[in-house]
Chains A and B, each alone.
Chain A
């Protein structure tokens, strides 16, 4: 069993132990009794788990790369957003301008969502590039592959960004559904780059876990 699976099982055992004691607390147990039940249930759960999966069974394979939370958010966000209702734009904002009598001239929720998602994706990719650049010498010593792999991706992102800017400018001058689709299509390209960029940091993570 690898470390990650073992750790998940271990955590689940602790949760079960806490739930058992928590059930007693909810039923009106005194705090002394709660501590006693908590200790007993934790010992029981953990002992049962460790007897079945002893520490010696953990393999030495490094655990898989765990992406930071912000990358996870950037990946999950587009999926989460599609499942939610369309947001409303407050009249008078840049995406819902009003005329002199306060009537909304147009409301462009599509462009607003596209811009928000693009900003997040672009800054996420840029943060990884910047991290590598700011710490280049240290990362280079650990794994020269990281820079070369990111260097392969940098021109791709610059190209995507240039096409996004052109498509967005075209759409703003002539807002049509086809124009918005073109912007969204380019947005999906940069979103696909996010996991690829993040994957290039795997050698760093592996080296760190091996040295520790």
Chain B
């Protein structure tokens, strides 16, 4: 296999792994834009979903729960 293909395979794998996170952010951004640019009415469902996230996140943070990606870990060998 050509070296350039071998070199980019890890990044293709990384992109595939990253896709769900990017999708989530894209959905958030799209919802926010929709709130503002499509009549500006925030539905009950949108409010409840956002409030659930914010309340749960607040509770988790105050309980000292930190997602693993936010913690400093040892360097790879």
Contacts and interface: CB of A to CB of B under 8 A. Distances in A.
Contacts of B14: 131, 134-135, 138
A140 B73 CA distance: 13
Contacts of A94: 44, 47-48, 50-52
Contacts of A140: 75-76
A164 B54 CA distance: 11
B42 A119 contact: no
A68 to B, nearest CB: 7
Given A94-B48, A135-B10, A122 B57 contact: yes
Q: Is the interface of B mostly helix, strand, loop or mixed?
A: helix
Interface string A80-94: 110011111110111
Given A90-B43, A127-B25, A168 B76 contact: no
Contacts of A115: 50-51, 53-54
A94 B51 CA distance: 6
Contact of A155 (B11, B13, B24, B72): B72
A interface bracket (residues with beta carbon within 8 Å of B): 35 or more
A179 B57 CA distance: 19
Contacts of B10: 135, 138
Contacts of A31: none
Interface in A60-76: 68, 70, 73-74
B29 A120 contact: yes
A165 B48 CA distance: 18
Contact of B75 (A87, A92, A112, A144): A144
A88 B42 CA distance: 6
Given A95-B47, A135-B10, A155-B72, A116 B35 contact: yes
B26 A120 contact: no
A54 to B, nearest CB: 26
Contacts of B11: 138, 208
Interface of B: 4, 7-8, 10-11, 13-14, 17-18, 21-22, 24-26, 28-29, 31-33, 35-37, 40-48, 50-54, 57-58, 61-62, 66-73, 75-76
27 contacts: A74-B29, A80-B36, A84-B40, A87-B35, A88-B41, A93-B46, A93-B47, A94-B51, A94-B52, A96-B47, A112-B51, A116-B31, A119-B53, A119-B54, A120-B25, A120-B28, A123-B21, A127-B21, A130-B18, A130-B21, A154-B70, A154-B71, A164-B61, A165-B61, A168-B54, A169-B62, A211-B4
